[in-house]
């Protein structure tokens, strides 16, 4: 079995390459641990000035997310013990990247979903290409937008965060750049040249990427920004669905269908998550770990993964099946903090980035 993370050095640049191609580099706990170990080693190594995070060549995904099929199996087999250990490791890695004192350059050349977003968005420099496809699709499997999404999505302009959380919309590289989710846009053919130049002169990474940047095509998302801000302005899931239903455009009908198909409990968790996001990333990670522990214990998670990824009938049976059936008391239970002995803690006490 090939090593799922390739760690190498070129000059004063460390390079971490995701190498689980058959799973589109979906993360498991071993990969999270390997990434964290390398980052911790290089954090304290004065010979390393920057880190490049990418994926093995000839695959269409940067990272398709966490290995939720394995998480579901843990829920069924051991009550979720291995799943909780995975989330602990993954969220610690997210926090390590967010607080990393050296530049990390994420090359998002392909599918970047769920856990892949959690790897890329904490990075100092985030490079999109024409192959980038970014999404937070957790609503389709009864989870919630995690890996720091409560903070990232809540900071997007207008109602864009709600739109992405509730629809699972897939953004291309141009849309990611327009939304501020990435910092640079390159043609994929120029990525290797960029990496080689950064390895020679890591302090000039931003300038190198700007020089190699190519103008992106128009962002399709921008055309619908006014509709998103208007129709997703409601605070409740019921209000958003009603607003979409009342709009006679084809776009609204498509997005109503997307929102209505997602797990109602997940959608209501996401709305409260975005509305109450803390400013502190560590606090968000602690909150999301508690949410993850509770959400995987609900039947909706195992059912969603079954429907989408295991049996693939795409006909999940949500419980409750309607937004009206998801009460505030249910959401309160999901958001209750964990006992101190079970709570998330970071790998190391690093100063948070401003």
- Catalytic positions, please? 66, 115, 138, 146
Q: Report the largest interatomic distance among the alpha carbons of the chain, rounded to a whole angstrom.
A: 60
* Residues in contact with 193: Cβ distance below 8 Å, sequence separation at least 6, in sequence order: 212
Is residue 263 a contact partner of residue 318, using CB atoms and an 8 Å limit? yes
Q: Tokens 């997210």 label which residue?
A: 94
DSSP letters of 146-174? -TTHHHHHHTSSTTHHHHHHHH-PPEEHH
Is residue 146 a contact partner of residue 291, using CB atoms and an 8 Å limit? yes
* Residues in contact with 78: Cβ distance below 8 Å, sequence separation at least 6, in sequence order: none
Q: Which residues pair with 353 in a beta bridge?
A: none
Can you list the alpha helix ranges (DSSP code H) found in the chain? 29-43, 68-78, 81-98, 115-120, 149-154, 160-167, 173-179, 191-200, 205-212, 220-223, 225-231, 237-246, 250-261, 264-275, 281-295, 299-305, 328-335
Measured between alpha carbons, how far is 101 from 350 in angstroms, rounded to an integer? 9
Q: Which of 302, 286, 175 is CA-nearest to residue 228?
A: 175
C-alpha gyration radius of the chain: 20
Is residue 35 a contact partner of residue 16, using CB atoms and an 8 Å limit? yes
φ/ψ of residue 171, rounded to 5: -100, 140
CB atoms within 10 A of CB 123: 22
């Amino acid at each position: 079995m090939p090593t799922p993370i390739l760690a190498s050095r070129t000059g004063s640049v460390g390079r971490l390459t995701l190498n689980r191609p058959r799973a589109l580099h979906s993360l498991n706990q071993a990969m999270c641990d390997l990434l964290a170990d390398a980052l911790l080693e290089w954090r304290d190594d004065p010979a390393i000035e920057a880190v490049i995070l990418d994926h093995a060549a000839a695959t269409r995904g940067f990272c398709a997310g966490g290995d939720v099929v394995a998480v579901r199996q843990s829920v069924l087999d051991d009550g979720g013990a291995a799943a909780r250990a995975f989330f602990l490791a993954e969220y610690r890695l997210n926090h390590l990247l967010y607080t990393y004192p050296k530049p990390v350059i994420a090359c998002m050349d392909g599918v970047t979903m769920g856990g892949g977003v959690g790897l890329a968005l904490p990075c100092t420099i985030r490079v999109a290409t024409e192959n980038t496809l970014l999404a937070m699709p957790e609503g389709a499997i009864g989870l919630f937008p995690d890996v720091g999404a409560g903070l990232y999505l809540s900071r997007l302009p207008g109602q864009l965060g709600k739109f992405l959380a509730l629809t699972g919309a897939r953004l291309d590289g141009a849309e990611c750049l327009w939304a501020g989710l990435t910092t640079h846009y390159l043609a994929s053919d120029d990525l290797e040249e960029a990496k080689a130049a950064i390895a020679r002169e890591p302090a000039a990474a931003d300038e190198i990427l700007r020089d190699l940047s190519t103008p992106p095509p128009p962002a399709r998302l921008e055309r619908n920004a006014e509709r998103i801000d208007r129709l997703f302005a409601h605070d409740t899931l019921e209000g958003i669905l009603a607003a979409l239903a009342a709009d006679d455009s084809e776009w609204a009908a498509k997005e109503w269908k997307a929102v209505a198909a997602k797990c109602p409990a997940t959608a209501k968790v996401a709305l409260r998550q975005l509305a109450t996001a803390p400013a502190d990333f560590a606090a968000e990670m602690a909150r999301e770990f508690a949410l993850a522990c509770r959400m995987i214990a609900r039947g909706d998670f195992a059912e969603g993964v079954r429907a989408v990824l295991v049996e693939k009938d795409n006909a999940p049976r949500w419980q409750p099946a309607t937004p009206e059936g998801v009460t505030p008391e249910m959401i309160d239970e999901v958001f209750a903090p964990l006992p101190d002995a079970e709570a998330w803690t970071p790998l190391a006490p690093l100063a948070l980035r401003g």
